Each structure stands twice: as C-alpha cells, then as structure tokens.
C-alpha cells in the first residue's frame, strides 16, 4: 500500500532465524510517522520476532540470525558499524510483562534511560520524569511517592511506568510487545487510551493477539502468518474488507 507520508521506519526483505529455523520470511513493511501500527496473527506467527528485529533485540538470543534492512529515518540500523546500543536508544520497547527494575525507585526507573546515556543534571531528570509520567498517565498516582520502589505499584501502573521509562528518552519509535496481555481489563483500557495520546509524540508499533485491540487503537494493521506478512492496510480497511482469504479467515475467527 502507498503511504501519504515518508515512512519513519521501513523494513526491507527482513529474514530472521533461530538456528536453522526461519521465523520471518521476506517481510517488508513501511510505518508512517505518528501512527500506531498493530501486528496481529496467531501464536508463533513471528510477529514478536519481527518486532524484536526492529530494535536489534532479536540478535541477543543465542543462535539468532538476521538478514535484510531496517531503515530508521532513512538510515539502516543494521549497517556495518551501527551500534545496537545506539539503535535501542532511538527505538524504545515496552514488554509483555511489566518489568520495572526492582532495585530502583519509581523516579529512578523513569529516568534510567537518561542516566544510562550519561545525563546527571538533577533538574533535567526531574523535569523529564514529570513529563514522561504525565504522558504515561501515571503522574497523579505516583507524584507523592516517587521514591517508592517501582515494583510497589500495581501491574497496570507498573506497565505505565515502563511506558514512561520508554518515553523519557524521547525515542522517535516505541515498540510494544503485547503490552496489555498480563493486565486486567481496566488497566488495558487505560493503556489503549494512552496509545492515542502517545502518537502525538512517537510512532508506535504494537504486537497484539487481541484483534479488537488492533481494530480499536491502531491506524494500520499488519497480519502475520507462519513468518510471512500476509496483508498490511489501514485498520478499518483490513478489518472490514480484507483482500487475502487467510486474513479474512483469521479475523472472522476461523482459526487462531
């Protein structure tokens, strides 16, 4: 499909392997800036693996291999001499299970990306923490206990803390790997609400096994099956008028 804007992130002929097993086959995908793209598909279809190739986290798994190109703002993050550490500072990630650092306070958790990057200015850290927590809709709940451990919060709050942590380094792109699958419906709704707000600041790519979630809060949806990208379209189009028979079968609940 044709995007109206220049893509901020562009995957070209991505192949990913675990040892001899090929998990991703020739996937190409363009992502428009300030949009939410949902990756859907049955378990084991490679949507999470694909997501993890986008910030070079895939290669941290022993035996994992990658082929292809991923352009971030026109620059290949897999180019020779490209430092994965720098890549991950520009492409943030929120994981399936909330994973704040148990040894750090709420405040320290939010700004840990900045302190890793060497920021020591207390004023700047406090300012960033406040705005990131506000953007993650957590500020009002934690502003009086910033020194409490991050793990003292509820599951939903912890996940919003992780979102704040990712937002705090102001990356152009944030990847989310089933961020609500471990949460209750109310916490899930809050995070879905947040997605709409977040795209003012960042581009979001979210893996979800929940088709309603994809339909509710994404602009574009990509359907993965057996490591291949079957269909990629505007979400309303994909869900109302799928072009591929397999997409239709999946979204109508024939399998999955």
Partner 1 sequence: MRNRAANLGDRRFQRTLMALSGSVVSVLGLIAVYLVKLSWPAIREFGLPFFWSTDWDPVKDHFGAGAFIFGTVTSSFLALLIAVPLSISVALFLTELAPRKIAALVAFMVEMLAAIPSVVYGLWGIFFLAPLLRLHVQPFLSRHFGWVFLFQGPPYGIGMFAAALILAIMVTPTITAICREVFRAVPETQREAALGLGATKWETIQLAVVKSSWSGIFGASILGLGRALGETMAVTMLIGNRNEISASLFAPGQTMASVIANEYAEAESSTHIAALAYVGLALFIVSFVTNFIARRIVLRLQGGASR
Which residue ranges make up the site for partner 1 (CB under 8 A)? 55, 57, 60, 62, 85-89, 92-93, 95-97, 99-104, 112-113, 116-117, 162, 165-166, 169
Q: Which is nearer to partner 1, 73 or 228 (CB)?
A: 73
Per-residue CA distances from 43 to 19, 46, 148, 242, 256 (Å): 20, 8, 37, 20, 7
DSSP state of 150: G
Q: How far apart are CA 5 and CA 65, in angstroms?
A: 31
Based on its alpha-carbon atoms, the radius of gyration of the chain, rounded to whole angstroms, reads 18
Smallest distance from the beta carbon of 252 to partner 1, in angstroms? 34
Residue closer to partner 1, measured from CB, 32 or 104? 104
* Cα gap 113→92, rounded to integer Å: 10
Beta carbon of residue 43, minimum distance to partner 1 (angstroms, whole number) = 18
Nearer to partner 1, 58 or 190 (CB): 58
Minimum separation from the CB atom of position 223 to partner 1 (A):
25
Count of other CB atoms within 10 angstroms of residue 252 = 11
* For partner 1, the closer CB: 19 or 102: 102
Task: Provide, rounded to whole angstroms, the least separation between the CB of residue 154 and partner 1.
Answer: 17
């Amino acid at each position: 499909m044709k995007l109206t804007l220049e893509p901020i992130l562009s995957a070209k002929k991505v192949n990913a392997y675990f040892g001899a097993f090929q998990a991703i086959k020739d996937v190409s995908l363009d992502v428009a800036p300030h949009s939410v793209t949902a990756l859907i598909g049955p378990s084991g279809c490679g949507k999470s693996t694909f997501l993890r190739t986008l910030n070079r986290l895939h290669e941290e798994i022993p035996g994992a291999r990658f082929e292809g190109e991923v352009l971030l703002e026109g620059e290949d993050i897999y180019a020779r001499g490209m430092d994965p550490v720098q890549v991950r500072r520009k492409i943030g990630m929120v994981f399936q299970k909330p994973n704040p650092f148990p040894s750090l306070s709420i405040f320290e958790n939010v700004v840990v990306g900045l302190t890793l990057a060497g920021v020591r200015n207390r004023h700047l850290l406090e300012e960033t923490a406040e705005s990131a927590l506000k953007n993650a809709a957590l500020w009002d709940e934690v502003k009086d206990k910033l020194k409490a451990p991050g793990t003292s919060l509820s599951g939903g709050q912890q996940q919003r803390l992780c979102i704040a942590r990712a937002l705090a380094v102001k990356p152009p792109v944030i990847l989310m790997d089933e961020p609500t699958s471990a949460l209750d419906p109310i916490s899930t709704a809050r995070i879905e609400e947040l997605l709409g707000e977040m795209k003012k600041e960042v581009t979001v790519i979210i893996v979800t096994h929940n088709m309603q979630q994809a339909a509710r809060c994404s602009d574009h949806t990509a359907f993965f099956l057996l490591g291949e990208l079957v269909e990629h379209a505007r979400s309303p189009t994909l869900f109302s008028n799928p072009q591929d028979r397999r997409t239709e079968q999946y979204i109508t609940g024939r399998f999955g």
